Amino acid sequence: MEDGINFHAEVIPRSRFKQMVEGSSRTAFSCNFFSERKVVYSNDPSIESWFKQANTVAIKDQERELLAFSTWTIHALHHARKRLEVKQDLELAVQELLSAAHSLAYAEIIRNGKVWEDDVIYRAIELNPELFQVVYLDLLAGRKKKQVLLTAMARIDAYLDEHYKAHLKPLLALLKKANRVMPLSEISDYFAYSQLYPGHIEAACEWLERKGRLQKFSSPFKLTKRSLKEVEEPAYFLES
């Protein structure tokens, strides 16, 4: 601490630094360790080389992060609609829509190939002022007007319509490759290590089904390996 200001430092062994650089999540957008960083001093050429490598955008990371934030947006949009149309609770609907706007902000930044850690919503407003005027700023200015909420929902839905092929690409690719009816539990297991919540994946599949882009079926499911009885779970099919 100097003059009341905390400085943070971390000592990382050379071997671990190399592993961090070469790991599959080395350029994860949501909390990127290397982005916008600078080598102040190094007498090891390999360190500088690894650092430059780590400071580039990885396409697979971009696709995974886009999927995570887009499914979060769809999930929040679904609950906002439910709060507004079924529960008639404008306050909770606004909270859900603001959550959708924040996840949409991450998606917009990632879609533009950027990494931004601070004040994400303001950076997104700079990138797409028209979108975030409707889905964020207007909500803050007119919190209890139902039409403002409906307009925001429609605009988010239109944005998802426009970009769903890129934003949901890993999910669509999985279903296309499977070329069969795929139970939700199997889809969730596939993305279990990608920070995707099963409820968010379900919301995305349901959204795609409502848009006529997936077919929905049911599939038998055992609650445990030794269960004698089966229940039905949702399953989805994407035509090749």
- Tens-digit pLDDT profile for residues 5-54: 888 877 888 888 777 666 544 444 444 555 556 788 888 888 888 777 66
The yes-or-no verdict on residue 56 having pLDDT over 70 is no
Residues 198 and 229 in one domain: yes
The pLDDT of residue 185 = 93
Residue 3 lies in a domain: no
Task: Kindly state the percentage of the chain with pLDDT values over 70.
Answer: 87
Quote the pTM value. 0.80
Range of the domain at 206: 178-240
- Tens-digit pLDDT profile for residues 126-172: 999 999 999 999 999 976 689 999 999 999 999 999 999 999 999 99
Contact indicator for 38, 31 with CB cutoff of 8 Å? no
Residues 22 and 46 in one domain: yes
Please report the sign of the dihedral spanned by the C-alpha atoms of residue 74, residue 161, residue 195, residue 185: positive
Residues 24 and 91 in one domain: no
- One-letter amino acid of 103: S
Which helix (H) or strand (E) covers residue 155, if one does?
helix 146-167
Residues 128 and 103 in one domain: yes
Residue 4 lies in a domain: no
The pLDDT of residue 28 = 46
Domain count along the chain: 3
212: domain CATH number is: 1.10.10
- One-letter amino acid of 179: N
For the chain, what's the residue count? 240
Q: What torsion do the CA atoms of 127, 129, 134, 140 make, to the nearest 10 degrees? A: 100
Residue 7 lies in a domain: no
Residues 69 and 120 in one domain: yes
- Tens-digit pLDDT profile for residues 89-115: 999 999 999 999 999 999 998 888 776
Contact indicator for 100, 77 with CB cutoff of 8 Å? yes
Residue 173 lies in a domain: no
Residues 66 and 143 in one domain: yes
237: helix, strand or coil: strand
Residue 181 banded pLDDT, cuts 50, 70, 90: very high
Residue 80 banded pLDDT, cuts 50, 70, 90: very high
The pLDDT of residue 224 = 85
Structure tokens at 113: 């190939």
Residues 63 and 142 in one domain: yes
